Each structure stands twice: as C-alpha cells, then as structure tokens.
A = this chain, B = another copy of it.
Amino acid sequence: MTRKEFQEFIAKGKMILDGATGSNLQKRGMPTGVCPEEWILEHPDVLVGLQREYIEAGSDVLYAPTFSGNRIKLEEYGLADQIGEMNRKLAGLSFEAIRQADTDRQVLVAGDITMTGQQLYPVGNLPFEELVDIYKEQIGYLVEAGVDFIVVETMMSLQECRAAVLAVKEASELPVMVTLTFAEDGRTLFGTNPETAALVMTAMGVDAIGVNCSTGPDKMVSVIEKMGRYTALPIVAKPNAGLPQLVDGETVYDMGPETFAEEMCVLAEAGADVLGGCCGTTPEHIEKLVKRLEEKGIRKAMKYPERKGKVVRRALSTERNVLPIELDGAFKVIGERINPTGKKALQAQLREGSLELVGEMAEAQVEAGAAILDVNMGTNGIDEKEMMWKVVNELTLLTDTPLSIDSSYVEVIEAALRIYPGRALINSISMEQEKMRRLLPIAQKYGAMFILLPLSDEGLPKDIQEKKDIIHTVLKAAAEYGLTPEDVIVDGLVATIGANKMAAVETLETIRYCKHELGVATACGLSNISFGLPERAFVNSNFMAMAIMNGLTMAIANPSQDLLMHAVYASDLLMNKPDADLRYIERVNEHKLTMVSGEVDSQSLKTSVSSGSKASAAIPEDKQGDEI
C-alpha cells in the first residue's frame, strides 16, 4: 500500500484496529513464558480464529502477530535463524484470516514491530545503527509477506521509535504508524511526553501517531489532546480494557465492552481517528465500539483534518520535552560556547577525549539562561564527525536542552541528527546549491528545523533585496522536500558595523520582514555587529533590544554575558511577552549585575566581590564574550 492509499483509506472514516492479541491467546490456551510467535505458528487456527472474529466485529486492520519477531527477541528463544520464515508465516496468518472472513470490506494487515528489550547507547549498550539494522531486517520480511503498512507499537522509548521509523523508510516505501505507551504520569518509561512524541514523529514523516496499551480509554484523553496540539496526522488510540487486576493469579482487565465503547467515543471526540483495543480487549469490545460510533453518528466525522494549520510545528525538542518557538514568545538564546574555536583548554580536552569541559559549558549556559545549545566541533586535530557524535550522545544524557547542530560538513550534521533523540536545529543551510540540495532532504528525513543563512554561492548578498531573494529561494527549495516556513529560522546575517555602517539597520529590516511579512522565526549571531569597537557589550546589548523589538526570535550568544541577558529579559518585558515581568524580576534578582562608573582598579575590584560562586563575577562584561 502506498502512503497516499493509506491516507485515502484513513480519510474514509474512523479506522478501526483490532483488539488485544496476547491476552486473548492466553485465554485460548497460550501458556506464559513461551515464545508467542513460536506458539502461534504451532497453533495457527487460534490466531486465525481470533482475527476472523475481529474482522466480523468491524476491524479494518489486523496487526500481524509479529510483535516480538525481531532478531534480539527471537534469539532469546534460540529462534533467530528462523526469523525470515517466521515473520513471513506469521503475517500470512492474518491474510488467511481475511481470506476466511470473506468480507466485502477492505481489511489491512499491519506488519507489527516493537522494542527489542535491549537499551540503546548511551543509556545501554545497543548501538543505534544496530537497532536500525535489526528493525530493517524484520521489516524486510514483512514487506516480503505483503503487509500493507508497518505499525511500530507499545514503544516506551522515542529514540527506539526513531530507529524504527528510519528503518521503515530505509527498507521500504510503506506507510508507518507509531504508537507509544505512556504511564499514568503522562510520560513514557524513558520520560517522553505526548507532545514530544507527536512533534518528533510528525516531523520525521510518519503517517499516523498515537498511543496504545498504557491505560484504559478513560485515562487517555489528555494524552490524545496533547498529541493533537503537535500533529495534524490521524491520531491512534488503542488503550487497554481499563486497569489490570489479578484475579486468582490471572490478569483481568476491568472494563467491559459497553463502557469501553462509550469511553472510546470520548477519545474520538478528543481527537483520535484511529481506534482499537490493547490488553484485555476482545472482539466484543471492538464490536461494541463500532456500534456505538455508528449510533452516535461519529464514525465518519474525522478530527485530524480540522487540526491542519493549527498545530505547533515550530518547535524543537529533546527526547523528553518540547521547546515551542513562538514568534511572540519568550526570547530564546542559543548558547554558543560549545565550540573549540579559539578555546585552547577545550581543544586540549577534546583531543584527549575528555568531555568534562563540554559538560560544564552546557550546564553553565543552561543555568545562565540558554534555551538551546549550539554544538560545533570544528577544529584542527579532531575528527569532527566522531567528536560531534560523542558530544551529542553526552549532552543528550546531561541536559534536557535541545541542540543546534553546527558544522560546515554535511556528513557531520547527518551523523549528529541521526542519533539525536528529539527534534534538533541545523545550523545552518544556505543557498550554496550543492550543500543545500544535500541538507534539505536530511532536514526532512530527521525532522529537524534549520537556520536559513542567507548566503549563496556568490557569498554575502550585495543588498537587502538580494538577501530577501535568497530567503525566498531557500524557502521554496525547502518546500520541495515538504519543509514548511515553520521548520525554518532565518539568520538575520549580522555584518560588522565598522565595515558597513548600515549593518544594524539592514539586519533589523531583515528581522522585521521575516517576522511581520513572512511569519518566519529569526535568529542572529549578534556579536559580529561590534567587531573592532571598544566596550562591545553596550553595542551588542542595545542591538539586542532593537532586534527583539523588531521581532527577533532567538540569538546565538554567550549567555554568561549578563548585560546582554539583562537586555533580553528587559526587552521581553517591554514588549509585553507572556510572563516577561516575572521572568525579568527573577533574572535580575538571581544574576546580580552592578555598574561602576569612572575608572576602576580591576585588581581591587576582584577582592571586593564577596563569595562569588560564579566564575565571571569580577570579569568586566565585555571580556566575558572573549574566549576563556
């Protein structure tokens, strides 16, 4: 099935999935402790029978019983060598069920994959590429078996979802649907919230996204709503039949078909258009669900088309949380310090393989107010790609701050994006044709946002009109890859005022134009503006205020420059950004900055700083930007 056919199938009305497989097989004789795939192949009629009942109940989709049919899981039962045959046969059972059901309705078979049970590096030891290969292998057999699409389900790790989605896209042309499992605290086992999952999976180009297992439908409303804010894709809800209870040593779910159907209608109203059941649900649950939807007249009323154009896509994320980038929201600083250029101590550490300073820089920048961390590993004597890969892994563990991947090399950027477990920012894509044509599909594939640097193969734009033309050209090229203006942050391209007296005026106009006429977010590397001038901090901070007034969304800066950061918070306050008053007051209280007029003896000043917990305490502000 093509992605287009899948979309058309979904568009016809609520797509009804099947209900539980495992809990029903157990009721029909499957003992615990066995390899389910093996048992099913030994008792094919049980599975075929169950799936026929689902078809008769109204399911439009059968999940092929290939859930744990990946090499790692099968290896646990010594069955890894039979992986191809097993997956093909298991999928074949679902096709057999459809054949036997002999219905006029089109019923799809989803190739079902899930987690391997091994943890990915750097939390565990499983390399990301190995997991991608494991999924690719299983998907290959499922494709051979003729499944209509792939469902990645019961996922508790967003990073493993990413590996699976990359595998689907690299091994097939099939549609892919992803459902995660959230605990009652609203997060997956690995800490991902529904917004993040929806954002990242949508940006990576899946065909439907949702939740399965987790809870009963009654506890799933807020998860569906949260996802709905970040995706205009069909949302899947495949909850359990309520809560599990142990009755006579057996796990029993407490929600009967009638209640289940009723609660599922509530989920449908909350935004779910693909509906099914997980643990504890039976063909009767599905039957009642279909009946209730018809009775209420909501079988055909689809929710996801209403969300088109209204969902948040202009957002970055870590694996766990989303960082929305609002055009009128709190100003964001991209911390620029994780870059060995001009930093001898950092260079030395990196050459020795130590990431200690990188970690310290990350923490210090976040403490000082950075919302995003730029990572650039370009320097002599370091394998940039390898070092970038290491640092991204390290920072993923250390902080919950989205990363901006900064390199001149396409390979370095792709290596970082491939393992980055959320939605990252590419710094940057310009109109240099060859690189642009390589980077835009990479941004698309990994669901990254990117900084649009208005340069071309001819170098800097001659004037503001050429700058605007470049911006339009890159936005148009991005659209060819399905990237929207919401995926883009335009760099205002700050020149040096010493070389071009109109540098500030032209950048401010670029910012105003992007925000107010194009509705596109903007960024700036501010400090260039004052190159060669004395007391640069004053020029930089006042430029910051002007840029924020013109609508600048974020800046690449050193957040330990307190004057600059005070300017950010004061400017947000002046522009009446949400809660900016509270943030300003908190800022100036927590980051004391005293100005001393007149000639100051900096030696004695140092001694006058009492109990300075901050290294920058006695450093004149304009020196803080220099490389320490």
Contact = CB atoms under 8 A, between A and B. Distances in A.
Interface of A: 497-498, 501-502, 504-505, 508, 529, 533-535, 537-539, 541-546, 549-550, 562-563, 566-567, 569-571, 573-576, 581, 584-585, 588-589, 591-602, 604-605, 607-614, 616-621, 624
B505 A575 contact: yes
Contact of A567 (B542, B589, B601, B618): B542
Contact of A591 (B497, B529, B592, B597): B597
B595 A621 contact: yes
In this complex, which of A529, A569, A605 has the most chain B Cβ atoms within 10 angstroms of its Cβ?
A605
Contacts of A616: 597-598
A563 to B, nearest CB: 6
A450 to B, nearest CB: 28
A511 to B, nearest CB: 11
B614 A597 contact: yes
Contacts of A593: 535, 538, 595-597
Contact of A596 (B498, B537, B571, B596): B596
Given A549-B550, A593-B596, A600-B609, 14 more contacts: A497-B573, A497-B576, A501-B581, A534-B588, A545-B545, A546-B574, A591-B597, A594-B600, A595-B595, A597-B617, A598-B616, A599-B611, A599-B617, A607-B608
In this complex, which of A570, A584, A592, A605 has the most chain B Cβ atoms within 10 angstroms of its Cβ?
A570
Given A567-B542, A576-B501, A599 B595 contact: no
Given A566-B535, A589-B534, A598 B576 contact: no
A88 B607 CA distance: 84
B621 A597 contact: yes
A597 B611 contact: no
A495 to B, nearest CB: 12
B599 A610 contact: yes
B609 A594 contact: no
A539 B574 contact: yes
A529 B594 contact: no
A94 B501 CA distance: 62
A535 B501 CA distance: 32
A571 B542 contact: yes
Contacts of A614: 597-598
A609 B584 CA distance: 29
A619 B596 CA distance: 7
A576 B505 contact: yes
Nearest to A613: B598
A537 to B, nearest CB: 7
Contact of A545 (B542, B605, B610): B542
Nearest to A586: B534
Contact of A573 (B539, B570, B608): B539
A595 B608 CA distance: 13
Given A504-B576, A545-B542, A589-B534, A598 B617 contact: yes
A616 B599 CA distance: 11
B533 A546 contact: no
25 contacts: A497-B573, A497-B576, A497-B581, A505-B574, A534-B589, A539-B570, A541-B542, A542-B542, A545-B545, A549-B550, A591-B597, A592-B598, A593-B595, A593-B597, A594-B595, A594-B596, A594-B605, A596-B617, A597-B616, A597-B621, A598-B612, A598-B614, A599-B612, A601-B609, A604-B607
A549 B604 CA distance: 38
B591 A596 contact: no
A432 B356 CA distance: 67
Contacts of A600: 592, 594, 608-610
A497 B574 contact: yes
In this complex, which of A542, A550, A597 has the most chain B Cβ atoms within 10 angstroms of its Cβ?
A597
A451 to B, nearest CB: 23
A608 B601 contact: yes
Contact of A542 (B505, B570, B576): B570
A609 B597 CA distance: 9
B608 A575 contact: no
A480 to B, nearest CB: 37
Contacts of A534: 585, 588-589
